[in-house]
Chain A
Amino acid sequence: MIRVWRTATTLATKDLRLLMRDRLALFFVVGIPILYGLFFGAISGAFQSGDASLAIAIVDEDQSPWSKRFVEILKKEPEKNEWRTSMTRREALDACRRGDLVAAIVLPRGFGENAGIFFQEAPTLLVAVDPSRNAEKGLVTGILMQAMGKLAADRLRDQTSMKQSLDESIRRLQSDTSMSLPSRLALIAALKSFRNFFDQLQQTSDENQTEQGPDFEFVHIEQLEIARREKTDALGSPLSNVQTAWDISFPQATIWGILGCATTFAVSLVRERRQGSLLRLQVAPLRPPTIVAGKALACFVSVVAVITMMLVLGMALGMRPRRPLLLIPAMLATAFCFTGIMACIATIGKSEESVSGAAWGANIVMAMFGGGMIPLAFLPSWMQGIGYVDPVRWAILILEGAIWREFTWGEAAVPLAVLSSVGIVALALGGTILRRKL
């Protein structure tokens, strides 16, 4: 057994040395996952911190105090959006058509008259959205509704203006013969009671020597924390840190590193066959399982190294694993699983091209259904169902479990068991096929 281990170590050392000298392979194993992690980390970080900006034009054709107020509110919501306010309607629409702007918002004449007054007829807003940016359409609508809510609040606070508006409405109702008398009387009564409410409000404000009106918001949304926090220490343990974008992107990036690693080693077996060096191994006093073990060990060590490297990089960028101890079995089970898959893929083809093609084909499918390419949440439910038999899904889950999901050992048991089982089955299958081929 010791001899087998020593031989496997010798074979693995040779493979690792060859990997270190093959710059292209090294780039696929090390460079690609880093780039992937940084890229997706930057994207999700931007969304998380609100860095994602939208270029929107606002054309104020009304130029009333309340339309100007509305523009001011919009420009603050959210501040990182790029608001362009000096365009004409034509210029704004052209820019939108050219794709320079996500949307153009036009405040037509008369917008400020009723804007923010809930008992008047709703003001009209004209909105044009770049058809290719449909995803942002909802975002623009949300921003507008939020701004309108704030405008309504400002209106309520401006009691003088509100009372003038109520007086004007009452006067118009009194002279409006198109409405039935009972309806008119009921509406006039309602508006007068509002008028009295604002008189009393004014009186209260004067007594309290404050000019502020009622302050309110439509709904107050608070974020619920799903991560466990019971184990924070007095100094504010790093484990209690709020998750960063890297927490999310690095497990996915690590998966790409693992897949690259597995593919590199799957191809290396065929390469040995092509360059004739496999012949020397076959003629040496080695049993075929020892040759397989050597390859598998090299793959395993590389996968563990890639995961470690990604973790170190992630931590340098602010990622803080909440279950550091769980990372150890997570790394080992993941490495074992993909080492087994490598052994299987290595037996599929006879040329480097066929093995490489098969490996990357399998990788892409696994990454697709397992959430390595697109987060699982964005996939249709049937695709998510397939993910349950995809090792990539379980690998991401266990890595996330250690990094930010705060898995208990019980919760970690399932993904660990799945990964280990897949590894055992795949390694046995690949080893058997390889033994026959050798």
Chain B
Amino acid sequence: MLTVDDVYKSYGDVEAVRGVSLSLAPGEILGLLGPNGAGKSTLLGMISGLLAPDRGTIELPGAGDPRDPQARRSLGLAPQSLSLYEELTAEENLRFLGTLYGFSGRQLAGRVEYCLELAGLEARKRDRVTTFSGGMKRRLNLACALIHDPPLLLLDEPTVGVDPQTRAHLFDQIERLRDNGKGVIYATHYMEEASRLCRRVAIVDHGRLLALDRVQDLIERYGGQSSVRIVLKQQPPPSLSLPGTWQDGIVSWETDTPLDDLVRLAGGGLEWEEVAIRGPDLETVFLKLTGRSLRDDTEQPAAHGAGG
């Protein structure tokens, strides 16, 4: 459907994207994970035809090079920053964009109605966008990307600044689109969103594609061991061998078998006030691959694991 083959993009001496390759199948949501400045926006810019790659090729579903305006009919973009005409109504925004894509008459009215329903804005369709809440604007921003019913959707941080209710609504709609056969590239730095929505995830940092695989496979491959942390009630029996470090009444360690370890310790007479087990997830995958937390806006020293 979409293929990105070994693309490069530089701004002066800065290499924003370095040899990224990926593909997307219909009905698939591909997560694009990376911190600010990782190269996600540049990659999306090239896929949407806004930027020309210095090297490599991009093929849109059944349409070819996204630099060709007609090829861009096959993609819809919901940018991170809201791209709406605030002095127009929701309906006028959709009508305007629909007309640009060549719709008219009943066909246009049908698409507008569909998008308003998808965004849950039928009751507010004649209100100016400037009167909308942040969540409503986000929903309309997504709806605008769908007005021409494209097979490929590029969603760049679509849930930034929205309340949990709107986030849930957006997730439902994105899953509905996926079920209808749309291919979605979902750029985010929220691990839980990527985990919930995406079958596969691409992890990008410093312009490089560090990993691309199914979420579970990534976790298995890069997630490492579970970490366990217990707060002791009393000093451990001298005969008991502790699996990790013990300091100030707290014992922490990493293991592939956290429950087995806890059963053994309890059997040995260890009593604790609190226990926390954290299994490997995308966050740990990301930390392992890049050496920094995904939500860090600035470079931070690696806590542990490999450097990015």
Contacts and interface: CB of A to CB of B under 8 A. Distances in A.
A284 B101 contact: yes
B77 A280 contact: yes
B87 A283 contact: no
A17 interface: yes
Contact of A283 (B48, B99, B102): B48
Interface string B91-110: 01000110111100000000
Nearest to A7: B100
B85 interface: yes
A286 interface: yes
B92 to A, nearest CB: 7
Contacts of A286: 69, 100
Interface in B58-93: 69-70, 72-73, 75, 77, 79, 81-88, 92
B40 to A, nearest CB: 15
B85 A279 contact: no
B69 A285 contact: yes
Contacts of B49: 282-283
B78 to A, nearest CB: 10
A277 B69 contact: no
Contacts of A277: 83-85
Interface centre among B88, B92, B96 (most CB of A within 10 A): B96
Tell me what chain A mostly uses at the interface: helix, strand, loop, or mixed.
Answer: helix
Nearest to B98: A10
B143 to A, nearest CB: 12
B100 A10 contact: yes
Given A284-B97, A287-B69, A21 B87 contact: yes
Interface residues of B, number: 27
B50 interface: yes
B71 to A, nearest CB: 8
Interface centre among A22, A277, A282 (most CB of B within 10 A): A277
A22 B128 CA distance: 13
B125 to A, nearest CB: 16
Interface string B119-152: 0000000001000000000000000100000000
Contact of A10 (B72, B86, B96): B96
A14 B84 CA distance: 12
A275 interface: yes
Nearest to B97: A280
Given A275-B83, A280-B77, A280-B83, A14 B101 contact: no
Interface residues of A, number: 21
A281 B81 CA distance: 14
A18 interface: yes
Given A276-B83, A279-B77, A285 B70 contact: yes
Contacts of A14: 85, 88, 96
A282 B73 CA distance: 12
A246 B88 CA distance: 38
A388 B83 CA distance: 44
A285 B72 contact: yes
A283 B77 contact: yes
A182 to B, nearest CB: 96
B81 A283 contact: no
A275 B141 CA distance: 12
A281 B69 contact: no
Contacts of B50: 279, 282-283
Given A14-B96, A17-B92, A284-B97, A279 B87 contact: no
A18 B87 CA distance: 6
Contacts of A22: 87
Given A275-B85, A284-B101, A285-B72, 12 more contacts: A10-B96, A14-B96, A18-B87, A21-B87, A276-B79, A276-B84, A279-B50, A280-B144, A282-B50, A283-B48, A285-B73, A287-B69
25 contacts: A11-B100, A14-B96, A17-B87, A17-B88, A17-B92, A21-B87, A21-B88, A21-B128, A22-B87, A275-B85, A275-B86, A276-B79, A276-B81, A276-B84, A277-B83, A280-B79, A280-B144, A283-B48, A283-B49, A284-B72, A284-B97, A284-B100, A285-B72, A285-B102, A287-B69
Interface of A: 3, 7, 10-11, 14, 17-18, 21-22, 275-277, 279-287
Q: Which 9 A-B pairs have the closest CB atoms?
A: A276-B83, A285-B69, A21-B87, A276-B81, A10-B99, A283-B77, A280-B83, A284-B100, A14-B96
